Structure 1
Amino acid sequence: MCDERTSACRPTTLYGQSKLCAAEAYIAAGATWGRVYFPFGPYEPDARLIPSLIRHLRAGQSFDCSHGRQLRDFVYVEDLAEMIAAVLDSDLTGAVNLGSGEPRSLRSVVEHVADRLEARHLVRFGAIEATGVDAEPIIAADIRRLREVTTGLPMIGFEAGAGRALAWWTDRLSGTT
């Protein structure tokens, strides 16, 4: 679990390095910087995991993925918005992790969505190699600091969020959105 005060940031892309530089500048100025983990939900780019999975499976196409043992911290977009608002309304400064604090395997995420589409047979685990940051065994948020300001907030969570995301993508792919 990544602790915003002690875990080292190791960006491997120019984009990641730029974000880290911006974060360091904000923090040095006494501001707050939210470290967003793996948001999902309506309107996310088609190439991301969940929309890509839904598109492939609804089209009856196989979905190639890695072994899926990597643990990631997925956070539903509405929960993320509530977290951001709570942090902005707080006295917290410095880096604050914005995630669910509940790591889950990529395999479990893929299976959850595939099961709802009755298409698990189309998923091919181990068909591609996990490389680079995708090979990291765990990327998940320690959210103890966040919990200081979010106690009692309504949380949609992964399962309900995945259901909402699936409904939205299904409508979009059917041409009703």
Structure 2
Amino acid sequence: MSKVLVSNVEKWVTPHLERAFQIDYTEQLKHSNYSSFDPDIPYIIGFEYIGEFTDIGSLGDVLTLAAQSNKLKTIIYLSSYGVYAPKKGQFKESDVVCPKNFVGTRAAILEDILVYLANRYSLDLTILRLFNPYGPYQLSPYVVPTVLERIASSGTVNIGDSEKVRDFFYISDLIDLISLILEKDPKGIDIFNVGSGNPTSISTLITRAQEITGGECDVLFDATKLREEYDYDYAVADINKIKKELGWEPKVSLEEGLALTYQWILGRSGK
């Protein structure tokens, strides 16, 4: 089992990474973690646990120090579709980067830092712009676990806008992709969208979840669930590039993924 260094990645993803890799995980990278870097150990980084812009600068300083010291070589960055300027249609990797909220802005700033370091210090960088991964260990307020948890308890789902369209893909497909990238050992800099390529509205997700589980939940509009910052009406990936260049596409259908996640939720609740 190969070793990877992981930081600033959501905690719910780490149990899945641990099934494929020996991971050295830190929630938020700091200067005290500098000794963990090794040019022979791939580094997987996200943009989580960045509460303010000064955190991004601190993170960039550590990465710069590691790159200058030749302690960093291969990077996989788990970015977000939030870097794109909104539009009605599938997003392509060549689309304009113009984030409209803090999530997208911090993801885009870190992309710029990593691209700069990769160019200056000849690092191998793969940027994965994730759409909507889901699966076991992910909890509310994410929409998939929220819906499935409410079905398990015959409760009520409070939704801000049920007609927003998203691109859901199961977590095991992401782990398979990371393994594939490390096996192929790509050189230079590349950017890929990661999703299913299939549009699913929140209302459709709720309907399918109820059909798959055989359970019910009440759905109520809740204005407090509307985000203060801009929230995309339509966020679906064009995955032609990653299919062509890496030969990757999701294996787990939405129906299968929802069933697997629901099984985990039932087990977690002791039902």
Structure 1-normalised TM-score? Answer: 0.82
The residue aligned with 1:5 is 94
User: Structure 1 residue aligned with 2:207, among 92, 108, 111?
Assistant: 111
The residue aligned with 2:190 is 94
TM-aligned CA distance change 1:82 to 1:149, over 3 Å: farther
The residue aligned with 2:43 is none
User: Structure 2 residue aligned with 1:41, among 128, 132, 135?
Assistant: 135
TM-aligned CA distance change 1:115 to 1:50, over 3 Å: same
Query: 4+ residue stretches of structure 1 with deviation over 6 A?
Result: none
**Alpha-carbon distance in structure 1 between the residues aligned to 2:270 and 2:138:** 17
**Alpha-carbon distance in structure 1 between the residues aligned to 2:206 and 2:245:** 31
Q: Would the aligned equivalents of 1:100 and 1:143 in 2 still touch at CA under 8 Å?
A: yes
User: Structure 2 residue aligned with 1:76, among 167, 170, 185?
Assistant: 170
TM-aligned CA distance change 1:139 to 1:57, over 3 Å: same
* Percent of residue pairs identical: 20
The 5 A counterparts of 1:149-168 are 149-151=245-247, 155-168=251-264
TM-aligned CA distance change 1:36 to 1:159, over 3 Å: same
For residues 60-111 of structure 1, give each alpha carbon's deviation from its aligned partner in whole angstroms, at most 9, with x where no partner exists. 2221213421111111001111222333424573321111111211111111
* Secondary structure, aligned partner of 1:39: strand
**Alpha-carbon distance in structure 2 between the residues aligned to 1:22 and 1:115:** 40
**Alpha-carbon distance in structure 2 between the residues aligned to 1:133 and 1:144:** 27
Q: Would the aligned equivalents of 2:196 and 2:250 in 1 still touch at CA under 8 Å?
A: no
**Alpha-carbon distance in structure 2 between the residues aligned to 1:84 and 1:149:** 14
What residue ranges of structure 2 are gaps of 5+ in the alignment?
A: 1-89, 120-124
**Alpha-carbon distance in structure 2 between the residues aligned to 1:150 and 1:167:** 31
Q: Number of aligned pairs? A: 172
Q: Would the aligned equivalents of 2:155 and 2:217 in 1 still touch at CA under 8 Å?
A: no
For residues 26-65 of structure 1, give each alpha carbon's deviation from its aligned partner in whole angstroms, at most 9, with x where no partner exists. 2332522111111100111332112122222222222121
* Secondary structure, aligned partner of 2:158: strand
For residues 122-147 of structure 1, give each alpha carbon's deviation from its aligned partner in whole angstroms, at most 9, with x where no partner exists. 223x444644444x221111112111
1:172 to partner: Cα distance: 1.0
Aligned-pair Cα RMSD in Å: 2.4
* Secondary structure, aligned partner of 2:172: helix
Structure 2-normalised TM-score? Answer: 0.56
**Alpha-carbon distance in structure 2 between the residues aligned to 1:5 and 1:24:** 15
What residue ranges of structure 1 are gaps of 5+ in the alignment?
A: none
The residue aligned with 1:146 is 242
| Greater relative contact order, per chain length (Cα 8 Å cut-off, separation 6+) | 1
The one-letter amino acid paired with 1:2 is: F
**Alpha-carbon distance in structure 1 between the residues aligned to 2:270 and 2:248:** 37
Q: Would the aligned equivalents of 2:134 and 2:170 in 1 still touch at CA under 8 Å?
A: yes
The 5 A counterparts of 1:19-58 are 19-28=107-116, 29-30=118-119, 31-58=125-152
**Which structure: larger Rg?**
2
TM-aligned CA distance change 1:153 to 1:130, over 3 Å: closer
1:18 to partner: Cα distance: 2.3
**Alpha-carbon distance in structure 1 between the residues aligned to 2:91 and 2:202:** 18
